[in-house]
Structure 1
Amino acid sequence: MKFVAFERAKQGTGASRRLRNAGKVPGIVYGGEGQPQLIELDHNALWQAIKKEAFHSSVLDMELAGKVSKVLLRDLQIHPFKQQVLHIDFQRVSAKEKIHMKVPLRYRGEEESNAVKMEKCLVNHILTELEVTCLPADLPEAIEVDLSKLEKGTTLTLKDIELPKGVEPVLRGHTAEDTVLVSVVMPAAEEPEEPAADAAAPAPEGDKK
């Protein structure tokens, strides 16, 4: 994805407020060989861009002052109840340096699996994204996970799937074997209703004197 940014000279709360009132979003780009640089973006264009999954998980082309550089979205501040982006951060990336990024997991095929179709099981998606490291050129927009082979009572771990070429998981003390992506459980059995008490049943007799 490509977007256009503009140089921003002023900083501070007052300057940022004026930008937002003018339909702009203040931001910053940092990292790589260049110095941190203040930028601004058109709010309406940015609002449409952040609705797309690729904007959050892909290497982006940022055009600034007639030059295009590769960046990653690193932080996005949104107003708590307004549809308004308050601030945005980007990081420059080098084609020769590996990056860390969280990539969405796209699950498909569970409706065709025996677990769901035959056994009426429930499929729990334990993870919805996976942190990976790779070169920018190898970063996938998402990782496809096929669930069509799921069986009753099984789990799908990171070891059971094949990652795209050049992509390695960031496990942080875990292993591929104990990183569970999906679990399959039987639906809870419905408990039989207890028979209602007989309203016409005679009350117990009291003690006779």
Structure 2
Amino acid sequence: MGVAERHKAPRGPNAERRAATRAKILAAGVKCLAEFGYASTSTPLVARLAKVSRGSLLHQFPTKVDLMLAVAEHAWIAQRDFTRAQVATNPTGREQFVGGVQAIWQSLQLPEAIAFMEVMIAARTDPELAERYAEFASEREAGMHRTRRRMAVGQLSAPEHVADIDAMAHLTLAALRGLALETVFIGRPTDEAEKVLGLLENMRRRMADDISAERLRAGG
């Protein structure tokens, strides 16, 4: 059973109240992780920020790891939806492919993205989190792969280039996450950020142009 299935919205006569409590807890979890980091985040602190009793929090999330994985899921969805909305502001096809760089970079400035990265980094040193994070990460990667495949077929009309586009998407996300870690977590100046973004955009632009040229040569 995946993380999403373990934490579906509650149902029943008190569903709305429980859902509202859950939303407050997840928002507080994001705030706590983004502002204080994983090590300083605790269930009592999140309950206090959410203005709910610790008992209410523990009823839905019995352990810190339960809570952190639910917050990571919530944060990932928020970041994904933000990125999709930003990409959709560009014309379809090549411009959306190139515009994905700026969309991802902007999404990485969100508190949810910072919270997500806090959980991701913590999985390296927290054994209990690490054991369960592997499944969570696998589910998320599978979802991202499906999205990239739809983009490759639907926007660039090049199903034979799925692997190349998937690799470019992976490179883009890895590079921008690294840049975000440098600027957000380490506090290095962001002067070089635009150069990195421009380089990634040019790489995507050339890839899209090469695919289009190949299609023309093939009579596509």
Shared fold (TM-score greater than 0.5)? no
- Could you say which structure has the greater relative contact order, defined with CA pairs below 8 angstroms and 6 or more residues apart? 2
Pick the structure with more helix per residue.
2
TM-score, normalisation: structure 1 = 0.28
